[in-house]
Structure 1
């Protein structure tokens, strides 16, 4: 199949980890033999306003056309006034600047289907392009895109996407319930042919040898008696990073050999400056994806105290390497575990419980080893991206087979639009 992936963010040279999981999903589809192109509209903030925040000014450095890992990426710029207009900019305006070029590309080499990662912005662009080109449009609910106030502009935009996208995948059952709430129906009333729980999954990890672990730890002056607690992700309060810092301070009083690395800092974009004042953790800058495996190899415990996730991909990646994990027992964590003993769960917000869990794991290497084995087995059984993307592709292929019926009402209008 030839697929057009629509995303709100995708890595580029200046920010190689922005939208990293979107790129990994694209690569997984490509490895399965599908032809993939990416549409990632980028906001343009007027020069005077862009000086107010480094994030806004950085948008100007994003290239419009790029090829990454043999995948063509098109990033048209759409105007945006920060803090004004809500979903108008990322959906309607982004579609307006994208549609003409995508229609021309479709005329030269037709797309078989459109797949959106995220329903805010990307989802609205995806279903509109699907109708214009008369091809099926599928979309993924990834997390906060369906956790929006129903009456907000974003809530209304997501509801439209849920109603108009031909097939919606949800990273977790919790997100499917959020989608049902936006549609004002019970989850069991949703059409299973259109609304499916399907995590995107993570790639199979490289082989991490014990020699590599020893080499990495020696390079930073770590002895084997020290126990490294690793957090890898965005440095932001909703991710529980401040609670992890508090838990580490408590845990180190009983277990001084514990140390904590938090990987993912990007000053000016997150809460790194505030967290830097905590003496119980070491902040490390965000890194390219190929570097994360070294951190997993060097660490002893993975901590994931997030308050809410669609599906915690960094946690799944850590577990895939056999690194034992402790996490707040939010709904997607319960979905991952399902009684398998794949990870250690702590009540959300329980700093004392998190500290106790870290101390317990630090003092029992055999428990860490068992937890690591269970976690790795669970990821390989249910969360590898090759399997998940293959399942998604099969569902999309079924849509393509029926498009003669499903899309006949749009065919004449779409053909005329493409000719223009």
Structure 2
């Protein structure tokens, strides 16, 4: 990192994320991880977010100063109310940061314009492919408003090849787009040191000793959890010692709606007589320990940006069977460090899972290669270094070329 580009000073970054801890969001998790690593590298960061719960308006989380802005509780005007509060915050706090980095598009619209007024470089990272900047889906008026705001940022971070192509399709010139993937903390997310460590972790979480298949994430239709359950019901008769762990929260409304998504999953398991072979853990902070306890990672999501949890599973040395979508294609070399499959095909996933469960050598090979891929290309320290370089080159007026 060459801080001479900024007069010998490290840059100070204001991270804008509508959702932030304890609110659960993949983009918010990645923002928090990035902030912690930037701080270690000498880049001072603050976070501004929406006050969506009863937490304090200002607090420190993991040494990072977090400001929460009051917004309308719900409805069509919640996001515009955040825009107004955000604009006033950025103006008031303008002397406390050098750059503004928005994590996600829709909730952070005016950042680009405010940055220009303040003379601060602005950066946008799209969180979800085929969604955040699919303006035709936002309605006639809001689509135009969101596109207007989107085009006012200085630099655009593409975490995946599909997102880079989406940027280009919206008319952005290639020189303002920088490919920087999400990163993962490879010290926290690491393989087990021994088979005994894995056995002890399984026991501590109440899992049986056999092969453990794991999914981590919010249990919603977009994550395609129903496919996981259907595949598990299909393969369990051939692999009766396997157990499935679904690690993550689910919408509160599903808890009281037997006809909802969760209710349907439980119905499928009851009909197959497999309720005792599947664990719904709910939200867990220690995802690293759960992943370390697993033997196979199962991720058939239908839509992502670059999924944090896949980075984490690969970093833990797990063989991963995942859907062929944006982000996963940038991480998985099919048959080398994981398997890429059709997110609509129960049969493809069932075949892949049978192959991995039936061949310990294949499990070991895919898992080792996954860990190697992460260490070489997707370590969070590497991502944080490239982000820091991007900030510095922007502050110096240089082009954010692939040198970042």
For residues 263 and 138 of structure 2, the distance between their equivalents in structure 1, rounded to whole angstroms, comes to 34
Alignment of 1:13-412 (within 5 A): 19-42=28-51, 59-79=52-72, 81-82=74-75, 84-85=76-77, 89-90=78-79, 92-106=80-94, 109-122=95-108, 124-143=109-128, 144-149=131-136, 152=139, 153-181=141-169, 183=170, 185=171, 190-206=172-188, 207=190, 208-210=192-194, 211-220=196-205, 222-224=207-209, 226-268=210-252, 271-279=261-269, 280=274, 281-288=278-285, 291-338=286-333, 341-402=336-397
Partners of 2:315 and 2:371 within 8 A in 1: yes
Partners of 2:135 and 2:144 within 8 A in 1: no
Per-residue deviation, 1:81: 4.5
For residues 164 and 225 of structure 2, the distance between their equivalents in structure 1, rounded to whole angstroms, comes to 27
Per-residue deviation, 1:340: 7.3
Q: TM-score, normalised by structure 2?
A: 0.84
For residues 269 and 7 of structure 1, the distance between their equivalents in structure 2, rounded to whole angstroms, comes to 25
Give the equivalent residue in structure 1 for 2:258: none
For residues 251 and 96 of structure 2, the distance between their equivalents in structure 1, rounded to whole angstroms, comes to 42
Partners of 1:94 and 1:125 within 8 A in 2: no
| Residue-by-residue CA offset, 1:120-173 (whole Å, 9 max, x unaligned) | 112x14213312321111110111322442662553344223311000001211
CA 395–71 in structure 1, closer or farther in 2 if over 3 Å, else same: same
Q: TM-score, normalised by structure 1?
A: 0.81
Partners of 2:27 and 2:127 within 8 A in 1: no
Per-residue deviation, 1:347: 1.8
5+ long unaligned stretches in structure 2? 1-10, 255-260, 400-404
Per-residue deviation, 1:62: 3.3
Partners of 1:162 and 1:168 within 8 A in 2: no
| Residue-by-residue CA offset, 1:263-283 (whole Å, 9 max, x unaligned) | 002341664344333324321
Give the equivalent residue in structure 2 for 1:48: none
Larger deviation: 264-273 or 109-118?
264-273
CA 177–298 in structure 1, closer or farther in 2 if over 3 Å, else same: same
Partners of 1:120 and 1:154 within 8 A in 2: no
CA 384–113 in structure 1, closer or farther in 2 if over 3 Å, else same: same
For residues 384 and 176 of structure 1, the distance between their equivalents in structure 2, rounded to whole angstroms, comes to 21
Number of residue-to-residue matches in the alignment: 370
For residues 177 and 328 of structure 1, the distance between their equivalents in structure 2, rounded to whole angstroms, comes to 20
CA 282–104 in structure 1, closer or farther in 2 if over 3 Å, else same: same
Secondary structure of the equivalent of 1:387?
helix
For residues 295 and 146 of structure 2, the distance between their equivalents in structure 1, rounded to whole angstroms, comes to 40
Secondary structure of the equivalent of 1:121?
helix
For residues 247 and 35 of structure 1, the distance between their equivalents in structure 2, rounded to whole angstroms, comes to 46
